[in-house]
Structure 1
Amino acid sequence: MDLEFITTYYQFFLSGTINTVLLAFFSVLGGTMVGVILALMKLSEKKPVKFLASAYIEFVRGTPLLVQLFLIYYGLPHIGIDLPDMVAGIFAVSLNSGAYVAEIIRGGIQSIDKGQMEAGRSLGMSYKMTMKEVIIPQAFKNILPALGNEFIVIIKESAIVSVIGIHELMYKTDVVRGITYKPFTPLIVAAIIYFVLTFSISKFLGIAERSMRASD
């Protein structure tokens, strides 16, 4: 297997990796914000609010990410919203991730003892304040491993945004394949990079989880 092309085209892999990490980071950040809102909506006692959150979650989880990406990328310009490719990709992946994160957060919130809410309310805190200051911080501790897994999933699924021209790792890999006429070996390099990214994040999250347990 001839890997000499790496010394010539390593910058392609490097820039692609950086864009992949940026895409995943901002998508998880956006997905977490969307997920918190959806989780609180789904836990609401107001039926219309709960219905809207449930409908959104079921629609997103029931349709392919590729379809959602095309709807955002090609659909928004028709209503006068023209986003840069990278922003459109982050937006689409964030909305997709938000549906999955919402269920993770909802489960985390429901895992907190109901006495915590009652204690907060008895101290004169409002429902919103109790959720913000007491319930949600504890829930995030419980769901950190699941959120970490979502980050890893997004890093792997981010390859799909290459179809709209975002220069992430898979896009750059295809460029190298075209330039070098090597259909196989650049994919091996990309696979190794993806593995290093996901393995490193998994180990980091494990350390963070043990640190939080030790501080309890």
Structure 2
Amino acid sequence: MERVALFITCVNDALFPETPKAVVTVLERLGYEVDFPAAQTCCGQMHANSGYKDDATRLARAFDDVFGGYDAIVTPSGSCAAMARDQYPHLTGSGIGRRVHELSEFLVDVAGVEDVGAHFPHTVTYHPTCHGTRALGLGDKPLRLLRAVGGIDLVGLPAADQCCGFGGTFALKNSEVSSAMLADKCANAAATGAEYLAAADNSCLTHIGGGVSRSGGPRPIHYAEILASTA
């Protein structure tokens, strides 16, 4: 069996530890042994996107050192997976990005499963994040996994392909535009009547969560936590 490592990401490590725990739960349920290399750090996306190429390069090299011995690196972040896949070749010439998989890619394309034995008796809508959709081309992989969850009532999100307005530093540098985009996303989420809004990136869910906490709407949740649930 492949040597599989968990790349937790900075946001999850600091704010959402239940999400990477959920990833391990799902993978172990499928029979995988998952390593967690403690020396892992940031992927460098924030630095690269802000023009700090030297810092991003150092972090990319560190990633290669930490994860180089693994056949597959699984992460609950389309954003960070896209960083490794798209930018590392330009920063360091490394091909390690080909071994980095967002969770749904690993489950559907590598493990070859859609039903992971989950049960989640709630109404859920799904927001396809920009990096997952545009950079990784996840398509309907997360939705296929969610549709196989027992007890779930999956409802469509109006204008699902529209950005939530986060975009990392975009939300800080273009706050008025970001806030307008967020308002549209939150209104569409509320219109579904869903209890939960799922997505593949907790960064986007943090942004949306701030909006729905003020205007009302479904509770944000990473879809990995739904897949880990057997309640």
Does the pair score TM above 0.5?
no
Indicate the structure (1 or 2) with the bigger Cα radius of gyration: 1
Question: Normalized against structure 1, the TM-score is what?
Answer: 0.28
Which structure has greater strand proportion? Answer: 2
Considering fraction of residues, name the structure with more helix: 1
State TM-score, norm by structure 2: 0.27
